Structure 1
Amino acid sequence: MIPRVTASIDLDAIRHNLTRIRQWTPDSRVMAVIKADAYGHGAVQVARALRDLRSESDFAGRHPWEADAFAVACLEEALRLREARVYAPIVVLEGVLSLEELRLCLHHELQIVVHDDWQLALLEQLPRGARARLWIKIDTGMHRLGFEPEKVAAVHERILARRDWQLCGWMTHLARADETDSAATQAQIDCFDAVLADRPGARTIANSAGLVAWPQARADWVRPGLLLYGASPLSGRTGAELGLRPAMRLESRVLALRDCRAGEPIGYGAIYHCERDMRIAVVTVGYADGVLRCLPNGTPFQVHGQSAPMVGRVSMDMVTIDVSAIPQTRVGDSVLLWGEGLPVEALADRAGTLSYELFCGLTQRVRRVYP
């Protein structure tokens, strides 16, 4: 069966990108973020590519492309990895929602981020001897999750009171790290450092943007996500400019060719009228596959390595592109939406969004392959 839409995932590119990350921050351990199914790239496959799964314990990576730990958003994502025999350390970034989830985290030896008093109260319901591995999150200015700085001392005391608990470290998250001149980011870093000045434990601050743009945020651990997949977290820069390789190549196919006359409308709402006599290719991809409906006319796709701008509105299962300048186009030809030679950042800019949304928005109808 011929796939309509294919996302080809280059695992060697992901290894290359982790190696590049280690060049930026050679003294930090790497917590590779593979939440949201590794941003649409396949969490199990990415985890297997970035870790010698024969090792179940913490370790300093034997190779520059190996992750020291993985991070996911929630318990469900962590359990999927454990079921796939990924035994590496896994950090659950949102922590737990119930005592039942807490017990499952302990059973599967997961590391839990604690960000609120009610989560600590759940932990304190555990019997003595229940070994919990904890990261404590501090709100340094994002005001989403985390303990306020003035509560950190009391939180630390509660943790020290339980000798069966292991404090893995301290965490915060930067709200504006992609703004390279943000005073708010420096203030967050300063706050984190001040609160923990006399406290033991590993520190982690930097996400992808913080890792690239804020060297002072490269603490004991870094938490790259988007960088692993070859895209830039900084506006106006591509992954290639940062020395990264795109890990995903998203392709569809030409379903039909239409010769349209000047002035004829194309697609729903007739938002585009042919500027001249044009050859239009209908492509088998749409918003049901994750291609954003808001993409404007002129969004660049490629056929035979040449630009084929989108015309008309994205529909559920199809888009239309102008192939007038590519006369060799035939039904069945491959159409590149993003990948090497056509950075995902270009499509994200057209949509007024981020590469994150494009990667994570791909649906189950897109076939992932690992050549």
Structure 2
Amino acid sequence: MSRPAKATVDLAAIRHNYQLAQQLAPNAQALGVVKANAYGHGSVAVAKTLEPLAPVLAVACIEEAIELRQAGIVKPVLLLEGVFEADEIVTASEQNFWIMASGIEQVELIANAAIAEPVTVWLKADSGMHRLGLTDGQVQQAYARLSALAHVNNDIVIATHFAAADELDSDFTLQQINRFASMTEGLKTPVSLANSAGILAWPQAHGNYTRPGIMLYGSSPFAQAQANADQLKPVMTLASEVIAVRTIEAGETVGYGRSWIAQRRSTIATVAIGYGDGYPRQMPNGTPVFINGQRAPLAGRVSMDMITVDVTEIGTVNVGDNVELWGHNIPLNEVASCVGTISYELVTRMPLRTPRLYINATTNGAAAV
């Protein structure tokens, strides 16, 4: 029998969340963002799920795009960070990878490329994120330079990225929208502004292409409740099983560093999952897990391969009982908040040791990877 720790990935939920992105921005085309191993969910499996739905897939870099091509994905793939060397443009031309140009240096690499097939280019405008992107004067200059070239397709897209779209009480997103409009004034070209938060909460930013990321994986980008985000379906369930149950007396301690002290006679369940499986070591005492239909608190420091849980209040617990760390019963965002991070980090750090079990690919069958 194999170790019970696993991450179940519901591909039907991926499809639902993508379709929600389309419904919320019906006049835009939604990309399928599968960078960072599809946010830890498995880029190939997720890309194959999205390929019949999405006109374009998106990754961070050319290595991620090549992985999709080698797996048989044929849809265009946008390189969100663009290219870093001139020979990558040749590969992009051959493989139908679209290139994001985020600076004058990348614009010049594309302009000077010697390629047989033209490439599709997106230009990134810095409307206020101040991380990557062309400045006010550079946008128009770069657009004019590239649109005059025979080896650049004439459907150049201009994009930007929001810094605070997840902050619903901030007006900075409106400032970015207005600045972007000024930067692109007079250009008859498709635009892309909206990430997940933009799709869900800023309809004036939907543009021609949207870029749903974390929402595809069932997690809200907002700290508070938001009506559209409440329609998302969780995708990943991280689960394992109880491998031992013991009773300890008041005053006894549990785990490394003796950080948890029993205040009464307590029942402790040991679960086969730890930071080696993607459950962070920093999780504090009291973080909820789900056992036998009830919540129970983490008790003691997370080890590499195991955690311990105080199950005193939930009745009989036996070896082999299922334990959910996050999923349908313990929201991913809640777990992230317990450790002072965001859902993005938890799922993207999921290691290869934790097998992904894919369900609802096209039927109710399952396959492990």
TM-score between the two structures when normalised by the length of structure 2: 0.93
Residue 114 of structure 2 aligns to which amino acid in structure 1?
P
SS of the equivalent of 2:277 reads coil
- What is the aligned partner in structure 1 of residue 352 from structure 2? 364
Indicate if the aligned counterparts of 2:104 and 2:138 stay in contact, CA closer than 8 A.
Answer: no
Indicate if the aligned counterparts of 1:230 and 1:240 stay in contact, CA closer than 8 A.
Answer: no
* Residue of structure 1 aligned with 2:262, choices 244, 258, 274: 274
Between the two proteins, what is the percent identity of the paired residues? 41
What does the per-residue CA deviation read over 1:28-53, in whole Å, with 9 as the maximum and x for residues that have no partner? 1001111111111111111111223x
Query: Are residues 1:113 and 2:113 paired?
Result: no
SS of the equivalent of 1:325 reads helix
Indicate if the aligned counterparts of 1:92 and 1:113 stay in contact, CA closer than 8 A.
Answer: yes
Please state how far the C-alpha of 1:359 moved relative to its aligned partner.
0.9
Indicate if the aligned counterparts of 1:230 and 1:239 stay in contact, CA closer than 8 A.
Answer: no
- What is the aligned partner in structure 2 of residue 189 from structure 1? 177
SS of the equivalent of 1:249 reads strand
Please state how far the C-alpha of 1:328 moved relative to its aligned partner.
2.4
Q: Note closer, same or farther for the CA distance 1:240–1:329 as it changes in structure 2 (3 Å cut).
A: farther
Indicate if the aligned counterparts of 2:201 and 2:228 stay in contact, CA closer than 8 A.
Answer: no
- What is the aligned partner in structure 1 of residue 316 from structure 2? 328
Matches of 2:214 and 2:227, distance apart in 1 = 9
Structure 1 runs of 4+ aligned residues shifted over 4 Å read 238-241
- What is the aligned partner in structure 2 of residue 11 from structure 1? 11
- What is the aligned partner in structure 1 of residue 248 from structure 2? 260
Indicate if the aligned counterparts of 1:102 and 1:123 stay in contact, CA closer than 8 A.
Answer: yes
Indicate if the aligned counterparts of 1:116 and 1:146 stay in contact, CA closer than 8 A.
Answer: yes
Indicate if the aligned counterparts of 1:298 and 1:311 stay in contact, CA closer than 8 A.
Answer: yes
Matches of 2:115 and 2:68, distance apart in 1 = 28
What does the per-residue CA deviation read over 1:258-316, in whole Å, with 9 as the maximum and x for residues that have no partner? 21111111111111101111110111111111111111111000111111110111111
SS of the equivalent of 1:182 reads coil
Matches of 1:131 and 1:336, distance apart in 2 = 49
Query: Are residues 1:41 and 2:41 paired?
Result: yes
CA RMSD of aligned residues (A): 1.5
What does the per-residue CA deviation read over 1:215-263, in whole Å, with 9 as the maximum and x for residues that have no partner? 1111111100111111111102389962111111110111211211111
- What is the aligned partner in structure 2 of residue 203 from structure 1? 191
- What is the aligned partner in structure 2 of residue 31 from structure 1? 31
TM-score between the two structures when normalised by the length of structure 1: 0.93
- What is the aligned partner in structure 1 of residue 120 from structure 2? 133
Matches of 1:101 and 1:208, distance apart in 2 = 28
Q: Note closer, same or farther for the CA distance 1:240–1:316 as it changes in structure 2 (3 Å cut).
A: farther
- What is the aligned partner in structure 1 of residue 363 from structure 2? none
Matches of 1:2 and 1:282, distance apart in 2 = 17
Query: Are residues 1:299 and 2:287 paired?
Result: yes
Q: How many residues align?
A: 358
- What is the aligned partner in structure 2 of residue 100 from structure 1? 87
Indicate if the aligned counterparts of 1:239 and 1:245 stay in contact, CA closer than 8 A.
Answer: no
Q: Note closer, same or farther for the CA distance 1:72–1:329 as it changes in structure 2 (3 Å cut).
A: same
Residue 314 of structure 1 aligns to which amino acid in structure 2?
V
- Note the residue ranges of structure 2 that are not aligned, 5 or more in a row: 359-365
